[in-house]
Amino acid sequence: MTKKEKIEFIIKTLDELYPNPAIPLQHKDPYTLLIAVLLSAQSTDARVNTITPILFSKANNPYDMVKLSIEEIEAIIKPVGLSPMKSKGIYGLSKMMIDLHNGKVPQSFEALEAFPAVGHKTASVVMSQAFNIPAFPVDTHIHRLMFRWNLTTGKNVIQTEKDAKRLFPIEIWNKLHLQIIYYGREYSPSRGWNLEKDIITKTIGRKQFLP
């Protein structure tokens, strides 16, 4: 298979499996999405989805969030892990949003990444899923699969993102990154991996992963 044929096979397979992938984090607007993505760092979407309804019942916008103390936020989000850092980030970004952006989530990578506890991946998710601006957030699933599929060197997520953006058409980035995440969870996990079920890796993967 040529690299072009591999890319076409990946896109076709993922479109058949996940024609309309939805973001797995519960949210209702750009602000609640930003908070949910921030909370998901080193946690699971399922766990975050049990906590955000509690948090958002008290504060689902920056104005209400800054009425809570950092300690109150931390007590609510403790089950998702890293709660000291995340609670300070949620409070801090909410205050900055009010002070600098009229209480609105800004639509730029630079502004989003200036918020505390918001990195490039979190900003990319918000840009792609809240504002439909092309981005390719790379999480552990995408990083793992791009390497298994021999489409990146696997050195770091920065290189993986560059390679993904270079190889895949920009008009499908926002959909494709969700499709790869779903595929990685279902067919190509890091643990308990069954190559026979992982049709994409079995068809195009690196030699060390093949029978």
Can you spell out the DSSP letters for 42-59?
TS-HHHHHHHHHHHHHH-
Is residue 211 over pLDDT 90? no
Are residues 163 and 183 both part of a single domain?
Answer: yes
The model's pTM? 0.92
Please report the pLDDT score of residue 202 as a whole number.
Answer: 95
Please report the pLDDT score of residue 184 as a whole number.
Answer: 97
Catalytic annotation, pick one of 121, 162, 175, 197: 121
Task: Provide the CATH number for the domain around residue 99.
Answer: 1.10.340.30
pLDDT tier at 76, thresholds 50, 70, 90:
very high
Write the DSSP string, 72-120.
HHHHHHGGGS-HHHHHHHHHHHHHHHHHHHTTS--SSHHHHHTSTT--H
> First CA to last CA across the chain, in angstroms?
17
pLDDT of 100-134, one tens digit each? 999 999 999 999 999 999 999 999 999 999 999 99
Are residues 55 and 100 both part of a single domain?
Answer: yes
Please report the pLDDT score of residue 210 as a whole number.
Answer: 75
Please report the pLDDT score of residue 187 as a whole number.
Answer: 97
Are residues 109 and 42 both part of a single domain?
Answer: yes
Please report the pLDDT score of residue 31 as a whole number.
Answer: 98
pLDDT of 137-146, one tens digit each? 999 999 999 9
User: Does residue 202 carry a catalytic annotation?
Assistant: no
Catalytic annotation, pick one of 4, 28, 95, 139: 139
pLDDT of 177-207, one tens digit each? 999 999 999 999 999 999 999 999 999 998 7
Residue length, the chain?
Answer: 211
Average pLDDT, the chain: 96
Are residues 126 and 141 both part of a single domain?
Answer: no
User: Does residue 139 carry a catalytic annotation?
Assistant: yes
Please report the pLDDT score of residue 209 as a whole number.
Answer: 76
Please report the pLDDT score of residue 39 as a whole number.
Answer: 98
Q: Can you give the residue range of the structural domain that contains 145? A: 3-21+136-209
- CA distances (Å), origin 7, targets 1, 32, 36, 146: 10, 34, 31, 11
Structurally, how many domains does the chain consist of? 2
Please report the pLDDT score of residue 208 as a whole number.
Answer: 80
In this prediction, residues 48-75 reach a mean pLDDT of 98
Are residues 103 and 162 both part of a single domain?
Answer: no
